[in-house]
């Protein structure tokens, strides 16, 4: 009898430990991640897609959540922050959640694609922009912003420029400016875009969320630029109502 009870109790204990271990196991795919997030309170979204976009951490629109695959092994506080980013009812709690999400170091399954380089014919323009970055830094940011590489891009067509934050893996931050933007809109507008991206750099270096929200708009007015994400105000076609994107890049569109 004693041996029987011992076997039963041991079996129950082992089963409990097994269940506990499974409960704590990291999700292996999008469906398991969605189930984990729903267990933590996610109700608005019913589909989940894993991405490898190195500049977008979490985004959602319609009923779909898109999460970088590097968050599969994120600890529970980070997963709860993702839920709050989607379900949060106040700006303050969603801002706090964004900081937790962005702070989590993600490990991509593959090495990031190599960044484009400034074309040799555009090096002089890049150097001139770098000199203006130093002037704007002293004039508007008390010289506190770090030096970041400034690249002139021949691939950007609709975007005028963007700021990309650095990564925990050692990839440096950068500002990229569209060569087509300079040709179409001139030097003054290009400097406006450079200063726009420097406001995003300021957000990044002061541990704020990189976006075009109230903090960005206030700082943009302070430094004397239009507080908009676009050169010409327009509604982005195809953008789902209520959609949100959280990442380490912010761009100015044309």
Beta pairing class for 159-164 and 174-178: antiparallel
With CA atoms as reference, report the closest residue to 224 among 241, 243, 199, 249: 199
Which one is predicted more confidently, 30 or 110? 30
| C-beta separation of 197 from 163 below 8 A | yes
Calculate the average pLDDT of the chain.
80
How far is the C-alpha of 254 from the C-alpha of 231, rounded, in Å?
Answer: 5
Domains in the chain: boundaries: 11-103, 120-232+243-253
**H, E, C per residue of 15-57:** HHHHHHHHHHCCCCCHHHHHHHHHHCCCCCCCEEEEECCCCEE
Beta pairing class for 174-178 and 150-153: parallel
pLDDT of residue 123: 96
Q: Which two tokens stand for residue 241?
A: 């109502």
Once rounded to an integer, what is the mean pLDDT over residues 138-167? 91
How far is the C-alpha of 29 from the C-alpha of 195, rounded, in Å?
Answer: 40
pLDDT of residue 116: 83
Residue 210 — φ and ψ, nearest 5°? -85, 105
For residue 230, what is the DSSP state? Answer: B
Topology of 11-103 in CATH? Answer: Zincin-like (3.30.2010)
Give percent of the chain above pLDDT 70: 75
Topology of 120-232+243-253 in CATH? Answer: Zincin-like (3.30.2010)
CA atoms within 13 A on the CB side of 147: 4
pLDDT of residue 11: 45
Q: Which residues are paired to 159 by β-bridges?
A: 253
| C-beta separation of 181 from 196 below 8 A | no
pTM of this prediction?
0.63
For residue 125, what is the DSSP state? Answer: H
pLDDT tens digits, 79-116? 999 999 999 888 888 888 888 887 787 765 555 556 68
| C-beta separation of 49 from 64 below 8 A | yes
Q: How far does Cα 231 stand from its chain's mean position? A: 22
Q: Fold identical between 11-103 and 120-232+243-253? A: yes
How far is the C-alpha of 229 from the C-alpha of 164, rounded, in Å?
Answer: 15
For the residues of 211-225, what is the DSSP string, one character each?
SSSHHHHHHHHHHTS
Once rounded to an integer, what is the mean pLDDT over residues 191-220? 90
């Amino acid at each position: 009898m004693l041996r029987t009870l011992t076997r039963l109790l041991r079996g129950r204990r082992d089963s409990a430990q097994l269940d506990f271990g499974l409960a704590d196991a990291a999700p292996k795919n999008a469906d398991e991640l969605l189930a984990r997030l729903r267990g933590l309170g996610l109700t608005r979204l019913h589909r989940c897609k894993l991405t490898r976009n190195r500049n977008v951490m979490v985004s959602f629109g319609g009923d779909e959540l898109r999460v970088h695959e590097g968050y599969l092994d994120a600890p529970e506080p980070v997963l709860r922050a993702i839920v709050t980013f989607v379900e949060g009812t106040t700006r303050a709690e969603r801002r706090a959640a964004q900081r937790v999400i962005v702070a989590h170091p993600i490990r991509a399954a593959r090495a990031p694609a190599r960044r484009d380089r400034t074309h040799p014919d555009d090096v002089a323009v890049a150097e001139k922009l770098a000199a203006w970055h130093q002037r704007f830094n002293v004039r508007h940011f008390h010289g506190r912003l770090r030096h970041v590489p400034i690249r002139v891009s021949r691939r950007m067509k609709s975007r005028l420029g963007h700021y990309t934050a650095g990564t925990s893996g050692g990839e440096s931050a950068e500002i990229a400016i569209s060569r087509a933007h300079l040709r179409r809109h001139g030097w003054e507008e290009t400097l406006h875009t450079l200063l726009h991206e420097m406001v995003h750099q300021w957000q990044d270096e002061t541990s704020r969320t990189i976006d075009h929200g109230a903090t960005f708009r206030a700082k943009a007015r302070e430094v004397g630029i239009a507080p908009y994400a676009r050169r010409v105000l327009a509604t982005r076609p195809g953008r789902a109502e209520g959609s949100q994107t959280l990442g380490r890049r912010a761009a100015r569109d044309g």
